[in-house]
Amino acid sequence: MSAPFRTVAIFGKPRAESVRERLRETLLAIADLVRGAGQAPLFDAITCEVAGIDAAGHTLAELGQRADVAVVLGGDGTMLGIARELAPYGVPLIGINFGRLGFITDIALDQIPTVLAAMLAGRYESDRRGLLDASVRRGAEQVFAACVLNDVVVARGVAGGMVEFSVRVDGVGIYNQRGDGIIVATPTGSTAYALSANGPILHPALPGLVLVPVAPQTLSNRPIALPDSAVVEIEVADVREAAAHFDMQTFSRLAPGDVVHVQRSAAVATLLHPVGYNYFATLRSKLHWNVMPAEGHDR
């Protein structure tokens, strides 16, 4: 058991106007729980604005410097964004699922009074997740840069048609390809878009990456797992519309000859889970591996 946290940053982001009041009530309940434990709650300024909370809001930089832990109320997308921002400060995160799937926001709303209280008191398990540094290079110029926790995706544009690109790993050409795109995913991102594109699941403890083609014209082009020390370069080869997406939250349009450069980041995100957390239990629950066909079901 670790020492209780002293200062708790609180984040929340509603998906729609219809759930805003419920979000506000839940955020205030979390703040009351924190105060009741003798700890200090600090609200993110944007959270105060969107949820209509009458409290002093703080910037992410202020929270990164002052908070011992961050509680994120939202879906996986909200968690991704906050994790990237707070990783340089070393602030660990607790995710409460206010979204849909909840792979990395693994505490249910009805568990807040018991599970969250125990975690803030120091009873939790820690899980370190690697990030990637990505950039778009146009000749000698870097035109875009981002840090990602899930994935970097090079994809065709809205005009349709396949995008043509070449892939290099550690400076060695792997293949030239035409298709809908390609995904470079971390173990965390291996259960996101990469999984939908038939990529493998990488356990979070593995120091690896996965390279997953999306609808490749060459049907024999399969996903491949790489060490996380690998430097991946994806060069756009033709004039078709294409873009690079970073955790599907920011993007950069690509021009012919642009190179998307991806490598391991020095930053690490630390996720905290309830005592007894098990990654395989999460897979069983979220991917329904524990659901058996009904007896007598036609084969």
Strands 40-44, 57-58: pairing is parallel
Whether the CB-CB separation of 222 and 194 falls below 8 Å is answered with no
151: annotated active-site residue = no
Catalytic residue among 76, 127, 247, 258: 76
Residue 242 corresponds to which amino acid?
A: A
User: Number of helices (H) and strands (E), helices first, in the chain?
Assistant: 7, 17
Which two three-digit tokens encode residue 188?
Answer: 């965390």
Whether the CB-CB separation of 131 and 87 falls below 8 Å is answered with yes
Q: How many CB atoms lie within 10 A of CB 158?
A: 6
* DSSP one-letter string for 205-259: TS-EEEEEEES-SSTT---EEEETT--EEEEE-SSS-EEEEETTTEEEEE-TT-E
Whether the CB-CB separation of 231 and 263 falls below 8 Å is answered with yes
Which two three-digit tokens encode residue 291?
Answer: 């659901």
User: CA 140 to CA 249: how far, in whole Å?
Assistant: 26
Task: Write out the E strands in 23-162.
Answer: 40-44, 57-58, 69-74, 93-97, 125-138, 141-148, 151-156
Q: How many CB atoms lie within 10 A of CB 176?
A: 12
User: CA 75 to CA 191: how far, in whole Å?
Assistant: 15
Q: Would you name the residues annotated as active-site residues? A: 76
